[in-house]
Every structure is written in structure tokens, then in C-alpha cells.
Amino acid sequence: MRGVEDMRRSYDVFFASSNRHKYAEVRDILEKFQIRAGFFKFNPVEIQSDSISDIARQKVIDAYEKCKMPVIVEDVGLYITSLNGFPGPYSSFVFKTIGNKGIVRLLGKNRNAEFLSVVAFYDGKKRPRLFEGRVRGKIAKRLEPGGWGYDPIFIPRGKDKAYAQLDDKNSVSHRYKALAKFATYMLQSSDR
């Protein structure tokens, strides 16, 4: 078993989440910025809120209490225009209940949507810092194979395929945009 000190030395920051797919993408994206992210698996106690920023802020304080190392979390919402922004903060619940098929069936002509990622960083000092990444796009008419979560149905603007079918998701995604801002902050503020 590796000790806490070894873990600290091996990684620059930890990503706390219940979702391994998210971690795999976070690790690959942060590697592009020479930041090494370790996985801290945890099941966040999510507060009910209309704002995924508020959810991310609470989640990172909870994560820091548990792992006691510099940590980031991410909260994501899929906002569908014709549903007045639903599911937004309820995206996890909607995915588990009606899923991609249910969403595809719900929509008519207007299929515009936006993915929003809020990454929150906390190291126990000062207050948590938040970084946002948004990608506009459309909900596909049918599911495309591959990917995870909403990847089979979200087509980012400027592409003709869903996230599930893109080779460069990690260079264009909502997660990439939020993490690029976090990386700039981290590289500026660290003395590495």
C-alpha cells in the first residue's frame, strides 16, 4: 500500500468523483498541461440547487474534508433550450431515469442544447476556485454508438458527429474548456 506522502508526490492534484469516465478524460486533458491528476473515488453528497456552481463548490469542500489533498471536482449540466434548460442540475438523475432514448424522444424541431462544466478546486486555504467551460450544440435525432453518458446524443457546434464519435472530444469539450482555465490558474500559482 502506498502511503499518503507517496500519493502526494506522485500527483499534482486529485480529481474526486464517482465517475471513472470523467476521471479518464480529466487525466488525459491535464496531462496536456503537464499536470498529473490522481483519482480520489468518492460518492459526493450533492446539495439540491439550481446552480451547478453551488453544487460544485459544496462538492469540493466535501471532497477536501475526505481526502485532505489539493483536489478538484466537476459538476456538469446538459441544458436543452426547448425544455427551458432542463435537465441542467438534474442531468445525472435524468440520465439514470429516462436516459438518452427518453431525451431524444422528447424533442421536436428545436434541438439546441448546451453542455456546461464547472470545475472547482480547493486546497484547504482561502475559498474554492471555480472554472467554467461551455459548449453549444444540438441533440442528435438518434443515438450514435460509443462514448458514455450523453456522448451518443450531443453534437457540438461545428461538428457533424456526436461526442461519442469524435476523436478529439478531449480538445473541444466543456470539460476541456473548464480544465484549461484551471490549468492556467494552477501553473501560474504553483512553484513547481
Positions marked catalytic: 75
Crossing angle of the two packed helices 20-31 and 174-189, in degrees rounded to 10 = 50
Q: Binder to ligand ITT among 76, 107, 113, 139 (CB under 6 A)? A: 76
Minimum CB distance to ligand ITT, residue 147 (Å): 6
Residue 189 φ/ψ region, left for φ over 0, alpha for ψ in the -120 to 50 degree band, beta for the rest: alpha
Binding range to ligand ITT, per CB under 6 A, among 5-13, 74-82, 106-114, 133-141: 74-82
Site string for ligand ITT, 123-162 (x = CB under 6 A): -------------------------xxxx-----------
Q: How crowded is residue 3: how many other Cβ atoms within 10 Å of its Cβ?
A: 8
Q: Give the Cα separation of 98 and 9 in Å (integer).
A: 43
d(CA 119, CA 100): 24
Q: Work out which of 44, 70, 128, 133 binds ligand ITT, going by CB under 6 A.
A: 44
Residue 92 as a binder of ligand ITT (CB under 6 A): the answer is yes
